[in-house]
Structure 1
């Protein structure tokens, strides 16, 4: 007896955000313009499929700049941002660098610097050891930032006397962060915050889409990497809505026993997961069952970030003049 049809609800928005798309384009265009190898400090984005694809085209990933043997080659800084010491080191070593930091992460960096210049100690809401957190803390002198990871941390921290400000990692859970901010404002009523939340539009939109899909399905797949903060938050959001959720990198990772008896399945993807991996998931289920796909749209995204000047296409007029 054939299994019943499987209804797949696709969350939208999902997958690549403007910051990730820009970062990947920077590496691709650097390879096209300068040839291989192009060095990349840290994973350009947290997705093995993307990283391996760029590696096959000539990108070489390193953790530190002193690992680069040929200093005539370009080096790209990842989308997560880097401490100030990294571009300073690149300049000292004579490296030509391209900064793929997401502009929304750069905005957090500038806000932290502004608070510091105004004499405020900065409380950074984020996850210990995440590259974005390391990069943001590295914008200011040591000791100028205190990391806050949870509501419980708010009661434990002992910031220096004087004015305070907070900022946040861009890929956090919207709900968790709101709780931490509320706790900070309760303990430190005069704390300064951002004019608008630092959690990026794409993180917020993807979490809202999951909230719309999760109550309608029996299980949800989040396509993404285990070291991707925004992907892990999507899984947590689905679970908070009462839905069983798993984080998978590829269709080959599917444990089919987990989906026995599931007739309504949700699928989303973290901001660093390309759409081809979502299609791969759907095809894997379609090979076993009749699938009916519905897209649940909760927001339209039109944000596009400019590439660095050295990598942009020439303007049409300039092209004609040539």
Structure 2
């Protein structure tokens, strides 16, 4: 019989810091890149570029696409950096975030603030000079909303934090459209709404997986204060509204037949997964049974393919 109590404790691995000689320049560069949350940037750009193709009804000027992508990436990265600085206290305590740059002390809070500010300024310059003032204004508005409204006001105070805070992630659809046309219209507003209704199922699935983390730091995400079944019901409701909203693009933008067919197929597949999660959550709180990450990954695939269909539709019309 093994007596684990008599085993020597494994030595704790000390993480390198910016002042630690073991922190190489690669560690520091990777830390700064990590502060910008590249996966979030990737998802945001995924809703920007297809809208530009749809607005142009073809292939927009590649220089314009590049400038919009760079400016949008700088803006989203800046917002993420400020979010990391503000949330560094709770990030240190959460399994999902404790290996970020600030909890590991590879980057100081002051250095991160300067980095975030530089990215924000570069974003405005790029969008003003090479895109247009309206797109620059929308990018600044999205960043300010994410930092001041979601991060500082809503996240730690209400279960509706990501419902309304998620508005910031909807702006790329508007930015992509205005980058090409120079004005707003109902078409990007519909796509804005699709992302708005997509955000709660996407985020709540992830929050359900890490609900203990959020509970430990007193962040009232819906899965912290409601049962898994109640959360799954809300996921189903938002999913139905999201799919219905996606179909509005057909009459509003007078798309060809390719987009509505794709939207119906993708929407049906997503709704099946949402209802399956609801069924798995009935009468249990076991995450191994509920498998919320299945819906999380399905939501990423859904949004990617839906906006890919937006970009391709003019080519088939």
TM-score by length of 1: 0.27
Relative contact order, higher structure (CA 8 A, sep 6+): 1
**More strand, by proportion:** 1
